[in-house]
Structure 1
């Protein structure tokens, strides 16, 4: 009792292959063979398509050029600072062919943030998109990286006039036109478990980002775990019962943590959207007849509540998976109404577990409301109560997990590693429960739980309810220190276009009162928004869709200092 183990057995996981060797060069019983003529990636901007053999060829060409012209060698760290792009996986796998490491950085980072990431990771080269190039050039100069060690993705004609680095496509062409100058090393048995493939920075929801060191084995393991769980290559299933089959089209962002894409991409064609705009997103869904969506909660919110959704026929969507943050039962119900023909549910994972730990099973068309599904093969989970004892089914506590896909720890940060990676388990920092069916429910971050008059208040619960208000399209709740109550819930909300116009015309306080009443009429008194309601143009989030509460906490502190003690009492 107190420990939960996934039901299915896990097949053999090779521990002597790098990620590109596993994906591009080898076969595995859990993975299908891609049929000839099915595109792998599609560039949404140009409509250009890339097939399996072209991907493999471009990976070789780039690896050859990086070795020859930039002298990239084993264990060197290369920074990938780009928006979503069809060449994203090409770059990752080319760097891995050389035994080097990819450090991924949020393309919205400013110069100081990028310089910090470069310093922590020890990057010596930067791949930068046209849109991020000015930031990359300035940060590179500050970090002592020569300008000729910057490689440009995107349109070279839009590069800064003083750019003196390399163009990605020219490098690939060079590598393909010259003989192989590098010899790809075969790993020894067990070596993939420790050989670092990626440095992926943690979300930074509560503090400064840390570089998570992810080995090749962890990613390979998670692909096999998910393939097994989803029965991607199980011929015993009827065609209609298979969630992924030839002819299906997915749409989304490709990053190291898009493991669902990597898992299923040998059957799916994946449309890559460089920048997110909801209306253009809908247009792409229709243009390519997208069947599968892997989204973060903000996109789920838009699908459920944005008026533009009704202007497009998206009835061909047959699968939607939501992850990166909890989705309330109320929001899931709205998404089900917006996508009546789709299987819909949630998954749970984190950078430190690389990445998916649980997912709604193929036996469910609609995932259990509020649940992140069941543990996938190879995963063991525990709910640990504040006193250190293991929780019974249905009892709340902090979720601990162990799996073959765990990261190695935080790069060059032993203190943080010891706090999170404990005796082969990851302390997730998420409060949740596992019920008697083995379903995982994530309530909120342990550190984000509010204490109001000694009662615990989960921000995610209030946020899910706020999204039910017709004027609210996004929300984030943080705690305001209060002498009487300890903390008071303060809601930052993004208004619908119509509500924003009414607020600007003098109805702001009326709308705030309506939002307060919406919570007060449905939640216990200690959960009421006595900290206030504040309007924002957008809620700050990291690339995976997690709310950056620390930013809003700072804003809340400024508001409190201007107002003094909040007058509202319970």
Structure 2
């Protein structure tokens, strides 16, 4: 059988610019004209608006400060340890202006998880939110990073506990000679790394995925071009319209939030309303307060929208487009979401960190998309049987994809996912999807096996209405802990001791 792809092609993908240059300065022909009155960023709680000019000034000043105060230069790695914040993307662009590398880190990481990512990426500077400073200090200490190389994201200007803040560097960055941000050589963007993102992959412990500037830019263009309806010339009839607003409830450290709710939204001439931390009631209030047109969600958030009766107390009529990704959405939830938003365009996407985000997205030819969607432009897919032969139409097998967004080069990416063409795509059961996050059973098994009462263990995924899946462990107790317990009797106390012992 032939390989699968779409006939749609991409415009020119620049390979001589950084992500910062592409988003903030590049006049790409595929980019729509943004209304002058439309801000780029809006802080959800305060309503503070940030224009392009302000973003560019803050980016330049912060880049100057990072270079002069911390010596950050080309190919250095800066780890961001923060929840969503209006300064988060500015920190990213400032680092890219120096041709350095960003490593986004989950703000709920433990000290050991943060330490692991710092060591894997060889970061030399940490930008941490003030609320996470204790974890950042401990993780940096374990990774051998001096305390003075922790820069703090704080709401107020000035130093915090003797440490420089991002706001301080933005304010005083003009004291030094400006860093111009060099233009890359032709083809250099394909090789130069922009992000080192953490991904659990398909098996084992979390891994670091290297994403080049070219791959990231190509992904933004893929999503933008795919989302345009060629039958309509007017922007008023497109899915993503200049002047629209998108509520950024997705975490910025995740590839979904990093690509879609920041970069795609801004490239499309829309406004990003930055939500520091997701709460369901907060999201409902924000939709009405900012007249939100676009929601980019994960299945657990859809569950709340469909199941919670309080939703009917809020005006959600401004919502015109809903994208759900990171895990499959059930047919039942799809139907309930359509009933809740009968006039909205609703669909799903499929992708991975290794592919810089999206591989497929629902087509503009359909108002609703109830599976993984249509392959993005210039993505080629194969579905392969266990013996290596290609599957036929609607025949399940392992998915392989080739895309310009796979790391620094185009190559066949073995996804470890099960899928079929014209059907849904599911990750093979070496991984469990919990609320859109990848949980590796091997990690949980390793943790449980470290308990004195556990002789052997197997962790599998179990369907759950809110989380999508939750891990379920089958434990073989150590013989020593069963002394005095009759055979075939239930030993719930043993499972509770193991549970609390592992959590402790």
Aligned to 2:245, which of 230, 243, 249?
A: 249
| 1:57-456 to 2 correspondences below 5 Å | 57-155=57-155, 163-180=161-178, 182-203=179-200, 206-231=203-228, 236-252=232-248, 253=250, 254-255=252-253, 256-258=255-257, 259-261=259-261, 262-265=263-266, 266-367=268-369, 369=370, 371-408=371-408, 424-435=411-422, 440-448=423-431
CA contact (8 A) 2:202 2:430 kept: no
Over 3 Å counting, the alpha-carbon distance change for 1:35 and 1:391 in structure 2 is: same
Matches of 2:169 and 2:158, distance apart in 1: 18
Over 3 Å counting, the alpha-carbon distance change for 1:125 and 1:282 in structure 2 is: same
- CA offsets per residue over residues 68-90 of structure 1, 9 Å max, x none? 11111111100110001111110
Matches of 2:231 and 2:72, distance apart in 1: 43
CA offset at residue 237 of structure 1? 2.5
Matches of 1:155 and 1:25, distance apart in 2: 27
RMSD: 3.2
CA contact (8 A) 1:37 1:51 kept: no
CA contact (8 A) 2:202 2:416 kept: no
CA offset at residue 22 of structure 1? 1.2
CA offset at residue 426 of structure 1? 0.6
Over 3 Å counting, the alpha-carbon distance change for 1:306 and 1:565 in structure 2 is: farther
SS of the aligned residue for 1:62 comes to: helix
Query: Where does residue 455 of structure 2 map in the other structure?
Result: none
Query: Where does residue 495 of structure 2 map in the other structure?
Result: none
CA contact (8 A) 1:44 1:272 kept: yes
Structure 2 regions of 5+ residues with no counterpart? Answer: 446-457, 491-504
CA offset at residue 67 of structure 1? 0.7
CA contact (8 A) 1:282 1:312 kept: yes
CA offset at residue 376 of structure 1? 1.0
Over 3 Å counting, the alpha-carbon distance change for 1:337 and 1:59 in structure 2 is: same
CA offset at residue 57 of structure 1? 1.3
SS of the aligned residue for 2:93 comes to: helix
- CA offsets per residue over residues 478-498 of structure 1, 9 Å max, x none? 99x9xxxxx99874747xxxx
Matches of 2:27 and 2:126, distance apart in 1: 32
Query: Where does residue 34 of structure 1 map in the other structure?
Result: 34
CA contact (8 A) 1:2 1:383 kept: no
Over 3 Å counting, the alpha-carbon distance change for 1:277 and 1:388 in structure 2 is: same
- CA offsets per residue over residues 233-291 of structure 1, 9 Å max, x none? x7952455311223311001334543223123242111110011101111111111111
- CA offsets per residue over residues 134-174 of structure 1, 9 Å max, x none? 100111122221222111113359997xx332111110011
CA contact (8 A) 1:326 1:444 kept: no
Matches of 2:234 and 2:477, distance apart in 1: 58
| 1:488-527 to 2 correspondences below 5 Å | 491=462, 493=464
- CA offsets per residue over residues 308-327 of structure 1, 9 Å max, x none? 21221212211000111111
Q: Normalising by the residue count of structure 1, what TM-score does the alignment of the two structures yield?
A: 0.75
Over 3 Å counting, the alpha-carbon distance change for 1:298 and 1:206 in structure 2 is: farther
Matches of 2:419 and 2:126, distance apart in 1: 39
- CA offsets per residue over residues 48-102 of structure 1, 9 Å max, x none? 1111111111111100111111111111100110001111110111001111111
CA offset at residue 104 of structure 1? 1.0
CA contact (8 A) 1:245 1:267 kept: yes
Query: Where does residue 9 of structure 2 map in the other structure?
Result: 9
CA contact (8 A) 1:149 1:166 kept: no
SS of the aligned residue for 2:128 comes to: strand
Over 3 Å counting, the alpha-carbon distance change for 1:59 and 1:493 in structure 2 is: same
Over 3 Å counting, the alpha-carbon distance change for 1:489 and 1:186 in structure 2 is: closer
CA contact (8 A) 1:130 1:159 kept: no
Matches of 2:425 and 2:311, distance apart in 1: 28
| 1:35-54 to 2 correspondences below 5 Å | 35-54=35-54
* Count of equivalent residues: 464
CA offset at residue 192 of structure 1? 0.4
CA offset at residue 387 of structure 1? 1.3
CA contact (8 A) 1:291 1:316 kept: yes
Over 3 Å counting, the alpha-carbon distance change for 1:156 and 1:565 in structure 2 is: farther
Query: Where does residue 451 of structure 2 map in the other structure?
Result: none
